[in-house]
Structure 1
Amino acid sequence: MKFAQKNHLPVHRWPPDNVDERFDVGVVVSFGCLLHERLINKFPYGILNVHPSLLPRWRGPAPIFHTILHGDTVTGVTIMQIRPLRFDVGPILNQELHQVPVDCTAEELGAALATKGAHLLINTLMTLSERIAHKREQEKTGATFAPKINTSMSWMVWEEQTCDQIHRLYRAIGSRMHLRTVWMGRTIRLLEFVGKCHISLSDQNRKPVPGSVTYQKESNTLAVCCKDGWVGFKAVLLKKRLTAADFYNGYLHQSLQRKEPCQTVEGLFVSRKGGNAAHQMRENSAL
C-alpha cells in the first residue's frame, strides 16, 4: 500500500464495496481470501492467480517452503483461473518449469519464482484469449497440500530426522525462524547451521543416541547426533547468544573431558514432537 500511495496508484480496499464492469481481467498473487462467484463474473476473462509451484503439486499458502522442505529438484510457476470459494484448483492457462538450485533457500527460490512469474503473467495476458481457449483442468493425481509455516515446524526430532532433512528444514525456514530443541527443560535455538559433521568417537563400542552433543574445537562447532549422522551449529540462543565455544565452556566441558559425546540427560538435546516438520513430511508422503 505504501508503494502504491507513493507512486500515486489507486488503492482499493478488500472486500470491495463496488466493482464496476470496466475491468477485463483480475490478477491475484499471494492472496489469502476466497473469491465469490459474483465477483469473478464481473471480469469477462475471469480472475487469474500466479502460483509458485507446478500445480496440482503444492496447493496452499506455502508452496515454496514445502518445495525446499521435501527436496523437490523441479518446481515452477502456474497461471490459473480462480474458481469460486476454492484455492488453487482452477484450470491452468500457462505453466513454466524451474530447476531448483542445489542448496537453494526458500528466500532465494521465492525471488527467482517471483521474477519468472511476472514474465509468465505478462506472456499470458498478451495471449489471453488463446490461453483461455486451450486451458486445461488440473490432474486429479499428484495433488499435495502446502500448509502455512508455523513455529511448531521448527522443533527438532533428532531420532527421526536425517542430516539431509535437517539441512532442508534449515534452508526452508531459516530466514524466518530458528531451529529449536530442548536443553535441560529449556528451549534452545540453534544458530548458524553448517551442515553435516564428521565425528570420530574415542569409544567405538558406545553408540551415541540422537540428541547427543559434542564440541569440535578445530572448527568451533557444536555437533548434534541425529538419525543418520551429525549436524553442526556455530552458535545457540538461550537467554543470550552463545558461540559454540561459550556453550561448551558453560555446559559441556565435563563430558567433553572424557572425549565422548554427552550422553547423560543433562547432555542431550531433547526432541519435541507434534506438528513439527518431520510430522509434516510424513503427512504429505501419505497423500
Structure 2
Amino acid sequence: MRSGGGTAGAATLAVLRLRPDGGGWASAGRKTETPWPPRGPRRSLCSSGPPWRLLFFGSDHFAVESLKVLAADRSRSGGAVSSLEVATLSADVPVADFARRERLPLHRWPPRDVEGRFDVGVVVSFGCLLHQRLIAKFPCGILNVHPSLLPRWRGPAPIFHTILNGDTVTGVSVMQIRAHGFDVGPILNQAVHAVPESSTTDELADVLAAEGAQLQLLDTLRKLPRKMADKREQSPAGATFAPKISASMSWIVWEEHTCQHIDRLHRAIGSRFPLRTTWMGGTIKLVDFAGRCHISFAGRLGGLQGGDPEEAPDGGRLLQRLLAPGTEAARRRRRVCQSAGGREGVGWRAASHPPRQKDDGRATSATQVTERGARRLWQHANKSRLPSSA
C-alpha cells in the first residue's frame, strides 16, 4: 500500500464537503461558476406538500373551469395553491380572457424563465405536446386533467367520441404528463361518471369540467405526495384514440347509417357541425333532431296525423321527418312516414331557407320543395314505396 493513497483520499473528501460562499462554491479561496442550488429537476421538493406554485396551461371553456377553481383556492387560507400563473397558445382564447380579468400573470407560448419559479404544472385542454426539457423544470412534474377513463379515449376529443360511441360510463382522469405521447402517463386520480342517455357533448363537458376541477384536480393537489407515490401506469389493454372532429363527419349516408348512429352523431357534433345530406342536387342542413318513433301503419298515412305514435303489432317501424316552413314564426310540423321494413325511424326539423327561383321563374321556398319531394327522398333512402293515398 502506498502511503500517499490516504492523503489523496482526504484531499478529495475535503473538496466535496465545501459549502457555498457568496453565491458560488468556495474552493481554496476561489469562486467557481457552479450555481446554488444546482440546476436540474428537484423531485425531492415534491414531498414537502402544499401549497404549490402553479403554472397553468389551457385554452378553451373546459379548461376555464379548472382555472377558476385554482384561482379561488389561491386566495383561501390553507389552500393547495400559493401562486398561480397562466400559459396559453393564443391571446384570444377563453383561458387568456379569464387570466386578464383575474389579473393573473400571462405567459406567451413557449413560456420562458420557468425554472425555479414553479413546483408543479397543470395542463387542461391545451392542445400542444410538451417537451421533456420543459417538463423537467417542474420539480413535481406536470399534471393533466383528461375527461375520460384513461386509457380509453386518449386524444383531443374524448367527450365527442364518448357520445358518438354510445358509452354509458365515462369519467375524469388526472395523470402525469409524459413527453413521448398524448395521455399516456401514469394515473394519479380517477373518478367514474354515468353518461345520461340523451346527453349532448356540451352538456357532458360542463359536468365533467366541474367534476374534474373541484373533485379531481384540487383533491390531487392537496394530496400530491401521496398520489405521486401511489400512481399507476396505464394498461395498454382497452386503449382507444379520440381524434379531432371535422365537418366531414356531419354527412349522413342514409343507406349505411342507422337511426341510433344518426341520433348519437347529432348529439356528439351537432352543436359544432349541423348534420347534412344531399337532395335534388343541393345540400340540406338538418338542424334539429325530432326523435325516433314506433308507430302503427294501417296502409294510409292519413290515419297517422295527430296523436302519439304507437308501436306496430308486427314490430314494424317507420321513418319520420318533421318539416317546417321558413315563412311562419311559429313552426308547424308535418309528418311524412313510410314503412321501413322493421328499421327504426328518425325525425328531423328542416332548416329554413329563403325562397329560390324555379325553372319557370316562380319562387318557392326550400321547405315547400322538401314537402313535395319528401316521398321520393325516403324511397331513395329505403328502397320502398309510399302509398299513393298519402
Distance in 1 (alpha carbons) for counterparts of 2:284 and 2:337? 14
Is 2:241 the partner of 1:139?
no
Which of 343, 357, 375 does residue 228 from structure 1 map onto?
Answer: 343
1:50 aligned partner, one-letter code: V
Separation in structure 2 between the aligned mates of residue 263 and residue 166 of structure 1, nearest angstrom: 17
Paired with 2:242 and 2:336, the residues of 1 have a C-alpha distance of 32
User: Does the 8 Å contact 1:158/1:226 carry over to 2?
Assistant: no
Given candidates 360, 368, 371, the residue that maps to 1:249 is 368
- CA distances 1:65-118 after superposition (whole Å, capped 9, x unpaired): 000000000000000000014100000000000011120111000000000100
Q: Percent identity at matched positions?
A: 55
- Measured in 1, the distance between the counterparts of 2:127 and 2:298 equals 51
Q: What does the per-residue CA deviation read over 1:130-175, in whole Å, with 9 as the maximum and x for residues that have no partner?
A: 0010100001100000010100110001122111111111111121
Question: Deviation at 1:236?
Answer: 2.5
Q: For the Cα contact (< 8 Å) 1:159–1:227, is it kept in 2?
A: no
What root-mean-square deviation, in Å, do the aligned CA atoms of Structure 1 and Structure 2 show? Answer: 2.9
Question: Is contact 2:323–2:350 with CA below 8 Å preserved after alignment?
Answer: no
Q: Does 1:176 align with 2:295?
A: no
1:198 shift after superposition: 4.0
Inter-CA distance 238–197: structure 2 relative to 1 (3 Å threshold): farther
Q: Which has the larger radius of gyration?
A: 2
Matched residues in 2 for 1:191 and 1:101: separation? 22
State whether structure 2 residue 226 is matched by structure 1 residue 107: no
> Which SS does the other structure have where 2:287 is aligned?
strand
- Match runs of 1:61-80 below 5 Å: 61-80=156-175
Distance 1:54 1:32 in 2: 19
Moved more, 4-13 or 46-55: 4-13
User: Could you say which structure has the greater relative contact order, defined with CA pairs below 8 angstroms and 6 or more residues apart?
Assistant: 1
> Distance in 1 between the 2:113 and 2:180 partners?
19
Match of 2:251 in 1: 155
The aligned residue for residue 44 of structure 1 is 139
- Provide the aligned length of Structure 1 versus Structure 2: 252
Bigger drift between 46-55 and 82-91 goes to: 82-91
SS state at 2:376 partner: coil
Paired residues of 2:353 and 2:367 also in contact (CA < 8 A)? no
Contact kept in structure 2, 1:181 and 1:189, CA below 8 Å: yes
Cα 1:156–1:66 change in 2 (3 A) is same
Consecutive unaligned residues of structure 2, counting only runs of 5 or more, are 1-95, 301-318, 325-331, 357-364, 383-390
| Residues 19 and 42, structure 1, Cα contact 8 Å, conserved in 2 | yes
State the distance in 2 between where 1:39 and 1:213 align: 55
Give how far 1:9 is off: 0.9
Q: What TM-score results when the alignment is normalised by the length of structure 2? A: 0.59
SS in 2 for 1:156: coil
1:262 aligns with 2:381: no
Equivalent residue, structure 2, for 1:55: 150
| 1:7 to partner: Cα distance | 1.8
- Superposed structure 1 runs of 4+ greater than 4 Å apart: 212-219, 221-227, 237-241, 267-270
* Aligned with residue 11 of structure 1, among 106, 130, 133: 106
**TM-score normalised by structure 1 residue count:** 0.79
Amino acid at match of 1:42: K
User: Taking structure 1 as reference, are residues 190 and 26 closer, same or farther at Cα in structure 2, changes over 3 Å only?
Assistant: same
Give distance in 2, aligned partners of 1:15 and 1:95.
29
TM-superposed CA distance for 1:191, in Å, is: 1.7
Matching residue of 1:273:
none
